[in-house]
């Protein structure tokens, strides 16, 4: 790390468990990394290997700045062969490695290892194939999510997963995090739009994971946060642009009334393309950032979008509008055209980053609750906020109960980060208490590994680790993520060293 | 508070979301964090916390085009423009550049902002004869760096000969609606004099008395955007003085307009000039911005042509002027405007960038040229001389000759009912 460097927004927050990198690089102290750097330089085109501390430090964190560690070496491969060769070299030297796409992750999933290699896919950004008749495209992992859509939109197709970060996050990162977006309610997460992945396994083999007989390995891989291998080629599904889209913005006096509207809409059997809610504080931030012109004095706004065949949408839209008003909406605006729709969405999509306008620092939380528990959980968050004096702005995918509380604090005030961290953790407790989950779409990464035991028993966690060990027995592929207490695979209780008895007897097959 | 003292706060505004990456030209080219806005801000932060301004760090600041696409795309309102200006000033002050780089910079900054010296150089050969830099220049291979740019300007500029001298005052046609000052610029004035005459005519036809002060020189844009604040301030004071008597200053070169709008910030700690500088910034308008505010009065005649409109960074990102030029073009009968793919990404011209970072600049030029070709337009319209030069040169490398024009020239052709003829060199 840079002398005198103090992480900006984490005064006192838990920093990574990795040892400091001082003295590791460039001075012969870390022979395996030096040897690797040399091998990589021979393998990659000029500029493909980064070893000087100043440049390395720019990769020290992803979108979550509270965890930082300067990588030992950064490599910028340009092909699957490069990635495979890099992984094999790391295995030979027994050096850990971490994949990174665009570095927008919000759980520290791409947090580097000071004693390891960071494999950045930003130069693997070719769209290899577009096959419209079969509604699929084959892309390299560094391709930006929105670029897939941009390549096919003129033909009436798009790539459905739409995280708010879609203008910059990579498809590889989407696969790793199983990312979703506002439209997941109807269209599902990344997992539902990936047909197959070419993967460099932790052994350095290149394999294709797709649908087929046997275990659903693709299903295991998507969402594994880069711990089971690195995907080098992704076949994604392209979705037809719906015949029509209708968007409305409804302003409510309070979060509770907004929540009621959500329940009624879903209860009616309508599956909107999206139902998003923002509370007053989040509205204030968005307004400051992008002048989205949301109604003043709203306690909450709801963005509802319906899409599909013209007649169906028209019918349902009228019902949605009525339900909003019945639930207490004091203003309902319907987007007349794409420009107005874009303006409505602009406020919502900029909300996270926009909070920077109203608070020096903040934490983005991500939790899930059953939709019916919405009013209760929100009231509890309010109480938590009032009791602790920590402001919380709420933005959420209301349709599927995915909350994104934004916990605001001033990093210049001593202890503020700790208090924010505390409130943020308690919000997750609320989610688990109500039968929800500690993450909806941002992943566990390093940040939430410590919360895993709140949701899973030791047996659950051990079972998951066994799967991980099946892929990565040496534990070199993005180690230290997801699990609170990483174990060496050999030590995991109940793991057999030899083949499973059933396999040995020929009664079962090992895939 | 000076920008330098503000630095920690300005840096703190960045939440590391990465939204600025896709429109950053250097990130588009190389996919490296340290050549993205987020990475550069991180480097600045490292420096702020004590890391020295070493050559590795400086390289990434030098590689920034200053296109300000990151300012447009940042949802958190990070003022990258101020960050990079302060950083560049620090680099100039504290970083010892290698000799060759120093010589090149001395040559460029001793040449481009001075119209008379530029004039002396029309015809690259005279470069050797007149500057007295010849030996130093030859030794460092500088001429090879600078001369392609000069050569490109020569190619695009009308045949040698004295640039027509504009009168000090051009009277409004019809009833007078406003009195405006006009900046003639250095590169623009010397190599594209036709743009200035067109601008003056359009303003007059729209009912403006146009005042063109003789005493004006360089506005300081090149210096300001390269961290040479002292030099820029001197240019700024002179410009402020030259335009003391007009209500509005109309600028037709994007880079100049954006720097004049920054005078207030540049001179805010100067007790004598601060107020005047702020007032001048308030009174500065880009030509298109001004014409839309004024509203059309003169009749628009048809210009049957298909044009591609290019957003100059210093217009779109630095001044937020995007819709106005398009609106003006849309008013012209029989003119079709095509959009260029990835309009937010810089063409690589960026002031002195093509002189100091020729490779990156030409790669970006090639990308932009390819997008321009995709539009199948016959004429490229841009509001900055550097952009036109850069893109036309790149197009030529790809074997396409395309006419270029400034928005003012298209309007001029329309207002005067000349059709498309004057816009195409071969008169087609
Ligand atoms: C402002 C903002 C808004 C966001 N909004 C959303 C949202 O609405 N929905 C949502 O789901 N997420 C959201 N995110 C989170 C983030 O954008 C997503 O998780 C995204 O998918 C990460 O992509 P990335 O390319 O940045 O990956 P990175 O952050 O670089 O990496 C993320 C993880 O993927 C792994 N990885 C990267 N590439 C590969 C590969 N080729 N093979 C295997 N593993 C790989 C990394 O090791 C890491 O664990 C948001 C983030 C920000 C900053
Ligand atoms: S000014 Fe342009 S080149 Fe520089 S960091 Fe911003 S977007 Fe990139
Ligand atoms: S400059 Fe703005 S857009 Fe870029 S990373 Fe920082 S906050 Fe995000």
A313 CB-near residues (< 8 Å, 6+ apart): A243, A244, A245, A246, A306, A307
Between residues B44 and A372, the one the model is more confident about: B44
Rounded Cα–Cα distance for residues B279 and A44 (Å): 54
Report pLDDT for B112: 66
Is a pLDDT exceeding 60 seen at residue A109? yes
Q: Summarize the confidence of residues A158-162 as an average pLDDT.
A: 96
Mutate to test the interface with A, among B9, B11, B14, B17 (most CBs of A within 10 A): B17
Q: How many CA atoms lie within 13 A of A242 on its CB side?
A: 18
Rounded Cα–Cα distance for residues B353 and B349 (Å): 6
Report pLDDT for B200: 95
A235 alpha carbon – ligand 2 mean position (Å):
32
Q: Which residues of A touch B339 (CB under 8 A)?
A: none
Q: Which of A24-38, B36-50, B168-182 has the highest mean pLDDT?
A: B36-50
User: What percentage of chain A reaches a pLDDT higher than 70?
Assistant: 89
Is a pLDDT exceeding 80 seen at residue A430? yes
Tell me the two tokens of residue A149. 């859509």
Q: Summarize the confidence of residues B335-340 as an average pLDDT.
A: 96
The residue to mutate among B21, B67, B76, B77, having the most atoms of ligand 3 within 8 angstroms of its beta carbon, is B76
A83 alpha carbon – ligand 2 mean position (Å):
29
Between residues A245 and B219, the one the model is more confident about: A245
Report pLDDT for A346: 87
Tell me the two tokens of residue B54. 């070493």
B103: Cβ below 6 Å to ligand 2?
no
Between residues A29 and B139, the one the model is more confident about: A29
* Least trusted range by pLDDT, from A138-152, B365-379, B385-399: B385-399
Distance in Å from the first CA to the final CA of chain B: 57
Q: Summarize the confidence of residues A242-257 as an average pLDDT.
A: 93
Is a pLDDT exceeding 50 seen at residue A24? no
Average pLDDT of every residue of chain B: 85
Q: How confident is the model at residue A20 (pLDDT cuts 50, 70, 90)?
A: very low
Report pLDDT for A43: 97
Residue A288 burial (CB count, 10 A): 17
Q: How confident is the model at residue A14 (pLDDT cuts 50, 70, 90)?
A: very low
Answer yes or no: are the C-beta atoms of A247 and A303 closer than 8 Å.
yes
Report pLDDT for A99: 98
- In angstroms, what is the C-alpha Rg of chain B? 21
Rounded Cα–Cα distance for residues A251 and A331 (Å): 5
Report pLDDT for A490: 60
* Least trusted range by pLDDT, from A218-232, A342-356, A422-436: A342-356
Taking an 8 Å cut-off on Cβ atoms, the answer to whether A54 and B56 are in contact is: yes
Using DSSP, state whether A138 is helix, strand or coil. strand
Report pLDDT for B111: 65
Tell me the two tokens of residue A447. 């940040």
Report pLDDT for B128: 44
What's the maximum distance between 2 C-alpha atoms anywhere in chain A? 71
Residue A95 DSSP one-character state: -
Phi, psi for residue B334 in degrees, rounded to 5:
65, 10
Minimum CA–CA partner of B341 in chain A: A150
Residue A99: beta bridge partners?
A119
Report pLDDT for A228: 97
A346 alpha carbon – ligand 2 mean position (Å):
23
Strands (E), B169-328: 169-170, 178-182, 208-211, 248-251, 284-286, 305-309
Taking an 8 Å cut-off on Cβ atoms, the answer to whether B46 and A3 are in contact is: no
Q: Which residues of A touch B59 (CB under 8 A)?
A: none
Using DSSP, state whether B396 is helix, strand or coil. helix
Tell me the two tokens of residue A104. 């927008």
DSSP B323-368: HHHHHHHHTSTTEEEEEPSSTTS--S-TTTHHHHSHHHHHHHHHHH
* Least trusted range by pLDDT, from A228-242, A270-284, B345-359: B345-359
Taking an 8 Å cut-off on Cβ atoms, the answer to whether B17 and A290 are in contact is: no
Mutate to test the interface with A, among B16, B63, B371 (most CBs of A within 10 A): B16
What is the atom index within ligand 3 of the atom nearest the CA of B73? 3
Report pLDDT for A34: 95
Rounded Cα–Cα distance for residues A80 and A234 (Å): 11
Between residues B30 and A27, the one the model is more confident about: B30
DSSP-derived pairing of the beta strands B335-339 and B305-309: parallel
Tell me the two tokens of residue A62. 């992803």
B317 alpha carbon – ligand 2 mean position (Å):
10
Give residue-wise pLDDT tens across range A25-39: 444 457 999 999 999
Q: Summarize the confidence of residues A87-111 as an average pLDDT.
A: 97
Between residues A432 and B125, the one the model is more confident about: A432
Taking an 8 Å cut-off on Cβ atoms, the answer to whether A54 and B32 are in contact is: no
Please name the residues between 55 and 74 in chain B that touch chain A, using a CB distance below 8 Å: 56-57, 60, 73-74
Q: Nearest CA to A164 among A401, A354, A439?
A: A354
A458 CB-near residues (< 8 Å, 6+ apart): none
Which of A3, A6, A167 has its CB closest to that of B19? Answer: A167
Report pLDDT for B101: 73
Taking an 8 Å cut-off on Cβ atoms, the answer to whether B46 and A5 are in contact is: yes
For each of the domains in chain B, give its residue range(s) and CATH number, in order of start: 3-94 (1.10.1060.10), 111-156 (no CATH), 169-292 (3.40.50), 300-424 (3.40.50.11810)
Q: Summarize the confidence of residues A36-43 as an average pLDDT.
A: 97
Report pLDDT for A19: 43
Is a pLDDT exceeding 90 seen at residue A177? yes
Rounded Cα–Cα distance for residues B58 and B282 (Å): 33
Ligand 2 atom 4, closest CA: B64
pTM (predicted TM-score): 0.87
Q: How confident is the model at residue B427 (pLDDT cuts 50, 70, 90)?
A: very low
Q: Which long-range contacts (CB under 8 A, 24 or more apart) does A423-429 make?
A: A423/A384, A423/A385, A423/A388, A423/A390, A423/A392, A424/A363, A424/A365, A425/A451, A426/A384, A427/A365, A427/A367, A427/A381, A427/A384, A427/A392, A427/A403, A428/A365, A428/A367, A428/A454, A429/A454
Report pLDDT for B222: 78
Minimum CA–CA partner of B8 in chain A: A8
For each of the domains in chain A, give its residue range(s) and CATH number, in order of start: 31-120 (3.30.43.10), 127-240 (3.30.465.10), 244-433 (3.40.462.10), 456-504 (no CATH)
């Amino acid at each position: 790390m840079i002398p005198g460097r103090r992480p900006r927004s984490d005064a006192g927050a838990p920093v990574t468990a990795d040892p400091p990198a001082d003295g590791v690089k460039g001075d012969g102290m870390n022979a395996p990394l030096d040897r690797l750097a040399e091998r990589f330089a021979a393998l990659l085109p000029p500029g493909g290997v980064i070893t000087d501390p100043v440049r390395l430090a720019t990769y020290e964190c992803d979108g979550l700045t509270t965890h930082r560690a300067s990588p030992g070496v950064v490599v910028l491969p340009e092909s699957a062969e490069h990635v495979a060769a890099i992984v094999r070299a790391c295995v030979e030297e027994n050096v850990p490695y971490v994949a990174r796409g665009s570095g927008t992750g919000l759980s520290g999933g791409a947090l580097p290892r000071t004693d390891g290699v960071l494999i950045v896919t930003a130069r693997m950004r070719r769209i290899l194939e577009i096959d419209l008749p079969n509604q699929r495209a084959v892309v390299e992992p560094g391709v930006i999510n929105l670029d897939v859509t941009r390549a096919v939109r003129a033909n009436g197709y798009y790539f459905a997963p739409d995280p708010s970060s879609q203008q910059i996050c990579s498809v590889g990162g989407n696969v790793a995090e199983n990312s979703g977006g506002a439209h997941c309610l109807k269209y599902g997460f990344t997992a539902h739009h990936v047909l197959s992945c070419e993967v460099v396994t932790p052994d350095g083999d290149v394999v294709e994971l797709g649908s087929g007989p046997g275990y659903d390995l693709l299903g295991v891989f998507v969402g594994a946060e880069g711990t089971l291998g690195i995907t080098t080629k992704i076949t994604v599904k392209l979705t037809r642009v719906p015949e029509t889209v209708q968007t409305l913005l409804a302003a409510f006096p309070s979060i509770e009334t907004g929540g009621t509207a959500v329940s009624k809409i879903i209860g009616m059997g309508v599956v909107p393309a999206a139902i998003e809610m923002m509370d007053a504080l989040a509205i204030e931030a968005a307004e400051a950032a992008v002048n989205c012109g949301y109604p003043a004095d709203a306690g909450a706004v709801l963005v509802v979008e319906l899409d599909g065949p013209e007649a169906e949408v028209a019918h349902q839209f009228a019902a949605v509008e009525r339900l909003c008003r019945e639930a207490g909406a004091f203003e309902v605006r319907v987007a007349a055209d794409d420009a107005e729709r874009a303006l409505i969405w602009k406020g919502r999509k900029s909300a996270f980053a926009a909070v920077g306008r109203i608070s020096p620092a903040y934490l983005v939380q991500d939790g899930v609750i059953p939709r019916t528990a919405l009013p209760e959980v929100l009231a509890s968050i309010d109480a938590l906020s009032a009791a602790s004096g920590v402001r919380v702005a709420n933005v959420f995918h209301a349709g599927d109960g995915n909350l994104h509380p934004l916990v605001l604090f001033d990093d210049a005030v001593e202890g503020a980060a700790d208090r924010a961290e505390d409130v943020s953790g308690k919000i997750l407790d609320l989610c688990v208490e109500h039968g929800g989950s500690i993450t909806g779409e941002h992943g566990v990464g390093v940040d939430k590994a410590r919360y895993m035991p709140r949701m899973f028993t030791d047996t659950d966690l051990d079972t998951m680790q066994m799967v991980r060990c099946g892929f990565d027995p040496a534990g070199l592929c993005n180690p230290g993520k997801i699990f609170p207490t990483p174990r060496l695979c050999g030590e995991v209780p109940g793991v057999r060293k030899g083949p499973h008895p059933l396999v040995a007897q020929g009664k079962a097959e090992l895939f | 508070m000076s920008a330098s003292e503000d630095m920690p706060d300005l840096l703190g505004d960045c939440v590391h979301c990465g939204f600025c990456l896709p429109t950053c030209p250097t990130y588009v080219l190389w996919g490296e964090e340290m050549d993205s806005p987020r990475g550069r801000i991180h480097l600045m932060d490292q420096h702020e916390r004590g890391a020295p301004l070493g050559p590795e760090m400086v390289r990434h600041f030098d590689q920034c085009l200053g296109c300000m696409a990151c300012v447009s795309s940042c949802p958190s309102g990070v003022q990258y423009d101020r960050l990079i200006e302060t950083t560049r000033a620090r680099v100039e002050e504290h970083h010892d550049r290698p000799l060759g780089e120093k010589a090149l910079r001395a040559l460029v900054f001793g040449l481009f902002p001075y119209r008379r010296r530029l004039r002396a150089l029309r015809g690259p050969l005279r470069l050797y004869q007149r500057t007295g830099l010849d030996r130093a220049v030859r030794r460092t291979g500088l001429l090879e760096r600078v001369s392609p740019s000069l050569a490109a300007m020569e190619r695009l500029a009308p045949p040698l000969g004295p640039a027509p001298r504009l009168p000090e005052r051009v009277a409004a046609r019809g009833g007078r609606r406003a009195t405006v000052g006009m900046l003639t610029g250095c590169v623009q004035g010397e190599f594209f004099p036709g743009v200035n005459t067109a601008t003056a005519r359009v303003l007059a036809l729209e009912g403006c008395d146009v005042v063109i002060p003789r005493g004006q020189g360089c506005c300081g844009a090149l210096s300001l955007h390269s961290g040479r604040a002292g030099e820029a301030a001197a240019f700024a004071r002179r410009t402020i003085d030259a335009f003391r008597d007009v209500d509005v200053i109309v600028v037709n070169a994007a880079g100049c307009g954006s720097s004049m709008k920054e005078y207030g910030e540049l001179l805010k700690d100067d007790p004598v000039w601060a107020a005047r500088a702020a007032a001048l910034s308030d009174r500065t308008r880009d030509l298109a911005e001004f014409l839309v505010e004024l509203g059309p009065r003169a009749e628009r005649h048809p210009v049957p042509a298909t044009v591609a409109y290019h957003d100059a960074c210093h217009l779109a990102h630095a001044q937020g002027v995007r819709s106005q030029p398009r609106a003006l073009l849309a008013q012209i009968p029989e003119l079709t405007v095509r959009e260029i793919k990835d309009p937010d990404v810089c063409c690589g011209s960026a002031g002195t960038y093509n002189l100091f970072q020729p490779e990156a600049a030409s790669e970006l030029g090639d990308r932009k040229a390819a997008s321009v070709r995709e539009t199948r337009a016959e004429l490229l319209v841009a509001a900055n001389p550097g952009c036109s030069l850069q893109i036309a040169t790149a197009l030529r490398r790809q074997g396409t000759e395309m006419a270029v024009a400034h928005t003012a020239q298209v309007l001029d052709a329309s207002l005067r009912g000349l059709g498309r003829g004057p816009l195409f060199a071969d008169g087609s």
